[in-house]
Structure 1
């Protein structure tokens, strides 16, 4: 992916990239998974780090 294909403001791949819809859906799912993991850890009152989520 080229730098000009990334939208910094929206944090998404621009439509000028051939697989932008598929890649943005993939990114959205990964973000949702990470947010869910953080919520689970916070619910259990455990501290969470980026390393633990990885």
Structure 2
């Protein structure tokens, strides 16, 4: 919700083109990809039941 509020405040600026507001969606997308990429190595063990027995 904080990102949405901040994004709407950037987009609502009067007098200048909100070029900085155009950078927010790619930045959020990159943050989501980074979070997914960092969690995938942790999920590798869950697809092998034998690995779960010895934790």
Which TM-score applies when normalising by structure 1?
A: 0.49
**Larger strand proportion of the pair:** 1
**Larger helix proportion of the pair:** 2
Structure number, greater radius of gyration: 2
Which TM-score applies when normalising by structure 2?
A: 0.48
